[in-house]
A and B are shown apart, each in its own frame.
Chain A
C-alpha cells in the first residue's frame, strides 16, 4: 500500500518538474513586453479600417494602392479626412485616378509626427512630394479632430477637411494670367545642358582640353537659369516668399530700370533689365504682408518694400507664399543699382617691374584688411605700370573712392585710376582712357586719416557691362625717387 502511494509521489514529482520547465522564463518576458496600448498590435491600415468614420478614405487607399504602403514596416503619419470632410471633395479628383493618388498621398508622410512635435508649425513633405504645414491643432487649414492614434507603424490623425495639394511658387506663377510677362521671361530661360554629376570621365581631349565622358553616363537635362542662379522656386524642400508682378507693374519696372542696363544693344538691354527685375523677387523664408512695410532682403541681396495696398493677391503655396503685386518699392542707388567694390588683392592682370605682394594687415585700431602692393618702381615706362581689375557696372554715374595705404615710403605716392571697356592699356601716344587723374597717397606714419577711403573722382558709365579699371603708377619715377602701387580697394558708388 505504501509503495503504491509512493509511486504516485514520484509521478507527482515528475509532473511538477515538467510543469515548471515550460512555464518560467517566457512568462516573465511576456509580462515585461506586454503592450500597454492594444493599438500597438495594429498597423495603420488596420487602424483606419477599424474607424467607421474613415471608410471613404480607406476606400481611396485601396483604390490608389496606398493601402499596401500603410501596412509596411516603416513609420508613416496619416492625416485622414473623415467621411464628412470627403463629401465636399471635388468629384473631379475622385474620378481621376491620377488626381486621387495625388490627393491621398498628400495626406500621408513618412515618419511619425505627433501634435506635440511642432514648436509653432512644422513643414512636412508628404508622399505626394508636396509639403504640408502641421501645427499642434491643424493640418494645413483643416483642424485635427482626433490626434495621435499611434500604432505599430506610425500615427494617425483624423482631420475635418479634405485638403487638395497646393501649388508651389513656380506652378502658381505659371497658372496666373495677369502676370504672364514675368512668367514668360522665366520660361524663356529654360535650356538644355549635360548633367555630368554621375559621369565617368575617360580623358581630356588633347585638342580641345575638354573632358570626354563614358557614353551613357551623361544625360541631357532641361534646366532654367533662373532656378539655377537665383532660386529654385520649384523646390518643395525649402520655403520662400515670391513676389509676382502684374504685367503693368512689370512694364513699369522695365521702363524705370532700362536706363541703368543699357548695353548699347536693344535686345540685350531688354534681357538685362528683365533679369534685374526677376532677380530680386525671391525671399528665402515666409514673410507676411506686414513684414514688407519695411525693406526685406531678397535672396539677391536687394532690399524690397511692398505697400500693403499694392498686393493684389496672396496665395499660400506648398513651398511658401506668393504675393501678386502691382508695384514694388525700393531704394534705387546703392541697393537696386549696387555699389561696386573692387578688392585690390584680386588683380585681373598686372604690369609691374617686380612681383606684387598681397598681405593681410592690421590697422592701428586693430581692424584687419588685405591689400596689394608693388614697391620699388624706379621708372615710368610707356605704357605705365598698372594693376588691372575687371568688374561689371551699370550704365550710371559712379563716384570713385579708394583706400590706398602708403606704409611703404615716407613720401607721397602718386597713383591714378583709369577706366576702359577693353583690357588693353594704351601707350601715351594712343587715346587715353577715362581717368580720375593722379592723386597722392600720404604716408601712413602718425596719420590716422590715411586709413580712411578717399574720393578720387567720378566715372560716368555709358553702358552696362564689363568695365576694366586700371590702378596706374606715377610718372617720373627714378631710383632716387621711387614710387609704388598700393591698393586695398576701389569703390564705385552709383549716383544720380
Chain B
C-alpha cells in the first residue's frame, strides 16, 4: 500500500505539469513524431522490440503466442516464449493473443524490451474488450465509464436471467431482484434514479437492436410483471457491456445508461456442439413466526372483548368451544399449506460451425422451474439462430433470429388480501383447516369455504385460483456491412420485435371472499388480458477510420436509427360464471363484464455521429452527438426545430490519458496501466408518455349514455428529460495485473424532469404533466479485481465493487403532495432525496392511562376527531409542540435508498476444480415492512406474530407493543417508524463448484460438472422473508415490502458437455 501511495505521488506531479503547460507538451509531441517517421523511412527494420511471453500463473514461457502491431507487423513467440517484432515507433501498442489466454495491448513505455505475462482468458482485466456499438474497444482505451463482462455463457448459473446475473458484478449498477418468482428478473439502476416518473431502467441493446423491456399494460395478476429480458438465455450471451455515461449516442433513450448484450456466434468453422443439462431443488423459505392456534385463540378473545362483545357472546363462539366444533379445533400451519419446495430442470443445446462463406450458431433451450407458492411454475422454450455470411469480398451479412415462449403459472402476490396465498397463509386463523370438517369430525374432501372471519381459504387460493401468463417474443434482424475501401464502411441493421403476453385469471368462488360490487356481489371473477408489442428498428451508419500516420488515428461514425413501435392491450374481466370450472369471459354475467385496454404508437428517430481520436496510443478523445426526434415531444418542445420537428441535440465529450504509457512511467514496475478519464455528456429520457403532449379524450358513461370527455391537459411544451453527466475516472492495473482497479466519481444533473404538477381546481384536473423538476445524483464507484493467490495449482481471485450515490431534488413546482404506496408515505422535497419515508416517529407505548394523560397530547384521527391518548397507545413523537399528534408531526423516518451496494466475488481454482462465490450487499437502505405492519397491527381477525404477546394489557406494563383493540381506533398501526427496518444485507448470492472431467475420448472435447447453490445465506436484521425485493420499478415503491414471493435458496447440479 505504501508503495502505491508513493508511486501515486510521483505520478501526480507530472500530471499537474502536463495540465498546466499544455502548449509546451504539444510542441514536444510534434518533435517526437518527426523523429520517428524519419527513422521509419530510413530503415524500417531498425526499430525492433524483443520480449518474452509468460504464463502469469506458472511463470512458464508460452510458445506460439501471436504478437502483432496493428497494420504494421506480426510475429509468433518461440518455444521459450521469446519474440522479436518491428515497430513503427515506441508509442506503438503490441497486441498479444493466444488460445486460452487473455488478449493484451502492451504499451512499450519507451522500452525496447518487454516482459509480458498472460492470465487465462476469463480473467477480468483492463485489457478486456468492451463490445461497443461501433466496434470493440479495449477497456484500457475507453474514455467513458464502461464495464464489460465476458459471461462466457456462465453455464454455472443456469437459472439466472441476464438482469439478475448482473447483480454484484458491476460497480454502480444496482440490480434488485423483484421477487423470488422464477424468471421475474431484477430492476436495474445504473447510478441511481435519474427520473421520478419516467423510466429509470437502462436501455438494453441486444446484438445491435434496442430490446424493449417495458410492459405496456398492468398485469391482471397482482404483483406480477413479465420480464422480457428472461427471453434471452444467459447461456446464449457472450458479453455484457455496461455503459454508464457518455451514452449520448442513444440520444433520448440513453439517460439511464446502456446495457449492450452480445449473443454468441460461431467461434470457428469447425462444428461444435455444446450440451448442458441441469436439475435442481428449490427449498422453502423459513416460516415467519405467527401465533399457533392456542395463542391465537386467546388473542382473538381479547380482541373480541375489546370490540364490545359480551363474555357470553365470546364464550358461545365455535372456536371457544372447539370440543363441540371439530372444524375449529385444528392446529394448521397455513404457511406450509401454501408454499413448498420444488424442482428445476434446464436443458440447453448449441450447435455452431460453418464454412468460409457462412457460420452459424443455433441454440435451443428448455427450462422448467417450480415456484415457491404451491402450483406455480415457469416453463420456457427458446431458440436462437445467429449467422454470419461473407457474401462477397466487400459485403458481409449477419442474421439474428430469436424466439422464446414462456408459460408461467402464478398466484396473486402483494396487496391482494383475499387472494394472495402467501399473505393468507400468515393471517389465516390457525385453528381452521383447508378442508371442510363436518360435525362428526371426519375430514371431508371438499375445500373449506370462506370462514366466519370473512377470510379466504389460503389453500383454495392456491388450488382453485388461476393466474396463467403465457408470453412469447420474436426478435429477428438482418445486418449488412459493405466495405467501400479500407476506410469507408456502410452498415445497416434492420429488425423487428414481436411480443405478446396473454394472461388468464380466475378468482374462484369457493373459499375466496366475494367482491362487493356496486350492483351485485361478485362471487367468481374470470379475467383475460392480451398485450401486444410490435416494433421495427433500423440502424444505418457509415463508418470511417483512418490512421494519419502511425501515431494518430481517427474513427468516425455517422448514422441514424429509426424505431417505430406499436402496443396494444385488451383486457376483460367479469363476474359470476355458472361455476369455478367455467372460466371463459363469455360465461360471465353480461351486466358485470368490464372490458378495456389501451393502444399506443410512437416513433423515434435518432441521428448520431461520433468521432474517436487516438494519439500516440496515450491520448484518447471521443465526441458523440445525437439529434433526436420523437413523436412524443410536444410541438413547442425545445429550441431546436428542423422542418417543424423538435429536435433534442445531445452531445457528449470525453477524454482519456493513458499515463502509464508515458516514458516517465518506465521505471514504475508496479504500475502496469494507469488511465485517467474525464467525460461530460448530455443525454435524454423520452419516456414521457405517448400522448402527454397532446390533448386526448376518454370515454365516459353518464346517465346510460356514452360520451367523450377530456382526458388530460395537453402540454404542448412537454419534452424529454435532460440528463447531464459528468464523470472522472481512473483505471489502473498494478503488479502485473494482480490488482485491477477502477474508480469513478460522477455528478448527474437532471433537468426538465417530468413531474405531475398540481393545477388549480378550476382546470378540472388535479395534475398536469410538466418538465418542471430537477434533481442531482452524485456518486462514487470502486471496482477492484485482484488475484490473491496465483500459482500453478491454486488460484484465488477476489473481486470487489461498490457503488454509492446521493440523490437530491434540486427544484420542484410548489404544492407537490406526498406520494403514497401500500400504506407508506413518501416525501419529495427540494434539497432532499426524492423518496424519503415520511411518517410518525414513536417512542414506546404509554405504560398507563395516567402517563398518557400527563403527556397532555391529543390524537387526531384520520376522520378528524380528536381523542386523548390512553394507556397502551403508542407514544408518537410530537415535533411541533402543539399538544396534538396530527400530520404536522410527521417527519422523515427512513430512506429506502441504500448508502452503498456492491458485490464481492471470489474464485478459487485448484487443479480441475473451481469454486466461485459471489456475495452481494446493500447497506443503509430502509424498508417499510408492510407485511409485518399487518401482522402486528392487532386490529382484526388476522393472525399476528408472536410479538403481540407482549401487547399492553394494564397500567404499569412496560412494552413496545400497544394494546389490542378491535379496529385499532387510536390508529396505533399508522405509518410510523415501528414498521421501518434496516434493510441492509450481506448475501451469499451464488456459490458454485465446477469440475472439469478429464476425458481422453476423441469425440468429446470437454465435460464439466457444476454444483451451484443460490441465496445460500443472508445476513440481515430485516424481519421479513428477505430484504431484497422490488414491488415496482417506480421510485415511489422502493423499499416497500408488500409481500411478494420471497427469494429462496436453491441448488442445481449440472453437466456441460462439448462435442
Query: Which residues from chain A sit less than 8 Å from chain B, CB to CB?
Result: 2-3, 6, 9-10, 13, 17, 20-21, 23-26, 28-29, 32-33, 35-37, 40, 73-75, 109-112, 114-116, 124-125, 148, 150, 152-155, 237
B861 contacts the other chain (CB 8 A): no
B315 touches A110 (CB 8 A): yes
B950 contacts the other chain (CB 8 A): yes
Q: Give 15 A-B contacts (CB < 8 Å), ordered by A residue.
A: A6-B789, A6-B910, A10-B910, A28-B1021, A28-B1023, A32-B945, A32-B1023, A35-B949, A35-B950, A36-B950, A109-B311, A114-B954, A115-B955, A116-B848, A125-B311
B1018 contacts the other chain (CB 8 A): yes
B1020 touches A28 (CB 8 A): yes
In the complex, what residues of B have CB within 8 A of residue A36's CB? 950, 958-960
In the complex, what residues of B have CB within 8 A of residue A116's CB? 848-849, 871, 954-955
* Extra contacts besides A33-B947, A115-B954 (13): CB < 8 Å: A2-B794, A6-B796, A24-B1020, A33-B946, A37-B959, A74-B320, A75-B298, A110-B315, A112-B953, A116-B849, A116-B954, A148-B956, A155-B953
In the complex, what residues of B have CB within 8 A of residue A153's CB? 298
Q: What's the minimum C-beta distance from A19 to chain B, rounded to whole angstroms?
A: 9
B793 touches A3 (CB 8 A): yes
Interface residue stretch chosen among B96-104, B285-293, B819-827, B966-974: B285-293
B295 touches A152 (CB 8 A): yes
B608-638 interface bits toward A, Cβ cutoff 8 Å, 1 = contact, 0 = none: 0000000000000000000000000000000
A73 touches B958 (CB 8 A): no
Q: What's the minimum C-beta distance from B430 to chain A, rounded to whole angstroms?
A: 11
B954 touches A40 (CB 8 A): no
Contact (A73, B305) CB under 8 Å given A10-B908, A36-B950, A110-B314? no
In the complex, what residues of A have CB within 8 A of residue B286's CB? 25-26
B957 contacts the other chain (CB 8 A): yes
B111 contacts the other chain (CB 8 A): no
Query: Which residues from chain B sit less than 8 Å from chain A, CB to CB?
Result: 286, 288-289, 293-295, 297-298, 301-302, 305, 311-312, 314-315, 320, 789, 791, 793-794, 796, 848-849, 871, 906, 908, 910, 915, 917, 945-947, 949-950, 953-960, 988, 991, 1016-1023
A112 to B301 Cα, complex, angstroms: 9
Residue of B nearest to A9 (CB): B796
Contact (A21, B1016) CB under 8 Å given A3-B794, A28-B1021, A29-B289? yes
Q: What's the minimum C-beta distance from A149 to chain B, rounded to whole angstroms?
A: 10
Contact (A6, B1017) CB under 8 Å given A25-B286, A75-B302, A114-B954? no
What DSSP secondary structure best describes chain A's contact surface? mixed
B950 touches A24 (CB 8 A): no
In the complex, what residues of B have CB within 8 A of residue A13's CB? 906, 917
- Which single member of A10, A24, A111 contacts B314 (CB below 8 Å)? A111
A13 to B955 Cα, complex, angstroms: 51
In the complex, what residues of A have CB within 8 A of residue B956's CB? 148
- Which single member of B311, B312, B947 contacts A32 (CB below 8 Å)? B947
What DSSP secondary structure best describes chain B's contact surface? mixed
A40 to B957 Cα, complex, angstroms: 12
In the complex, what residues of A have CB within 8 A of residue B849's CB? 116
A156 to B1043 Cα, complex, angstroms: 39
A124 to B871 Cα, complex, angstroms: 22
A17 touches B946 (CB 8 A): no
A412 to B200 Cα, complex, angstroms: 92
Contact (A74, B297) CB under 8 Å given A20-B988, A29-B289, A110-B315? yes
Residue of A nearest to B299 (CB): A75
A152 to B471 Cα, complex, angstroms: 52
Q: What's the minimum C-beta distance from A33 to chain B, rounded to whole angstroms?
A: 4
B298 touches A74 (CB 8 A): yes
Q: What's the minimum C-beta distance from B471 to chain A, rounded to whole angstroms?
A: 34
Q: What's the minimum C-beta distance from A453 to chain B, rounded to whole angstroms?
A: 45
Closest CB pairs A-B (n = 6) = A73-B294, A114-B954, A33-B946, A21-B1017, A148-B954, A20-B1017
Residue of B nearest to A126 (CB): B311
A20 to B949 Cα, complex, angstroms: 29
In the complex, what residues of A have CB within 8 A of residue B908's CB? 10
A10 to B315 Cα, complex, angstroms: 62
In the complex, what residues of A have CB within 8 A of residue B305's CB? 75, 111-112
In the complex, what residues of A have CB within 8 A of residue B1018's CB? 24-25
Q: What's the minimum C-beta distance from A427 to chain B, rounded to whole angstroms?
A: 61
In the complex, what residues of B have CB within 8 A of residue A10's CB? 908, 910, 915
Q: What's the minimum C-beta distance from B312 to chain A, rounded to whole angstroms?
A: 7
A115 to B955 Cα, complex, angstroms: 9
Contact (A24, B957) CB under 8 Å given A17-B988, A112-B302? no
Q: What's the minimum C-beta distance from B391 to chain A, rounded to whole angstroms?
A: 53
Q: What's the minimum C-beta distance from A24 to chain B, rounded to whole angstroms?
A: 5
In the complex, what residues of A have CB within 8 A of residue B297's CB? 73-74
A328 to B932 Cα, complex, angstroms: 64
Q: What's the minimum C-beta distance from A440 to chain B, rounded to whole angstroms?
A: 58
A16 to B991 Cα, complex, angstroms: 13
A110 touches B957 (CB 8 A): no
Q: What's the minimum C-beta distance from B440 to chain A, rounded to whole angstroms?
A: 20
A73 to B293 Cα, complex, angstroms: 8
Residue of A nearest to B936 (CB): A32
Q: What's the minimum C-beta distance from A26 to chain B, rounded to whole angstroms?
A: 7
Q: What's the minimum C-beta distance from A386 to chain B, rounded to whole angstroms?
A: 52
A37 touches B289 (CB 8 A): no
In the complex, what residues of A have CB within 8 A of residue B796's CB? 6, 9
A112 to B286 Cα, complex, angstroms: 33
A114 touches B953 (CB 8 A): yes
Q: What's the minimum C-beta distance from A191 to chain B, rounded to whole angstroms?
A: 27
A285 to B957 Cα, complex, angstroms: 35
Contact (A29, B1023) CB under 8 Å given A17-B1017, A124-B311? yes
B794 touches A150 (CB 8 A): no
Q: What's the minimum C-beta distance from A141 to chain B, rounded to whole angstroms?
A: 22
Q: What's the minimum C-beta distance from A158 to chain B, rounded to whole angstroms?
A: 15
A73 to B298 Cα, complex, angstroms: 6
A29 to B288 Cα, complex, angstroms: 8
Residue of B nearest to A125 (CB): B311
A75 to B1019 Cα, complex, angstroms: 38
In the complex, what residues of B have CB within 8 A of residue A125's CB? 311-312
Contact (A111, B294) CB under 8 Å given A17-B991, A21-B1016? no
- Which single member of A2, A24, A35, A150 contacts B954 (CB below 8 Å)? A150
- Specify which of B849, B871, B946 lies most central, judged by the most chain A CB atoms within 10 Å of its CB: B946
A40 touches B950 (CB 8 A): yes
Q: What's the minimum C-beta distance from B922 to chain A, rounded to whole angstroms?
A: 15
In the complex, what residues of B have CB within 8 A of residue A28's CB? 1020-1023
A125 to B848 Cα, complex, angstroms: 26
Q: What's the minimum C-beta distance from B850 to chain A, rounded to whole angstroms?
A: 10
In the complex, what residues of A have CB within 8 A of residue B1017's CB? 17, 20-21, 24
A109 to B293 Cα, complex, angstroms: 21
A74 to B320 Cα, complex, angstroms: 7
In the complex, what residues of B have CB within 8 A of residue A112's CB? 302, 305, 953
In the complex, what residues of B have CB within 8 A of residue A73's CB? 293-295, 297-298
A39 to B960 Cα, complex, angstroms: 17
In the complex, what residues of B have CB within 8 A of residue A111's CB? 301-302, 305, 311, 314
A237 to B947 Cα, complex, angstroms: 36
Q: What's the minimum C-beta distance from B938 to chain A, rounded to whole angstroms?
A: 14
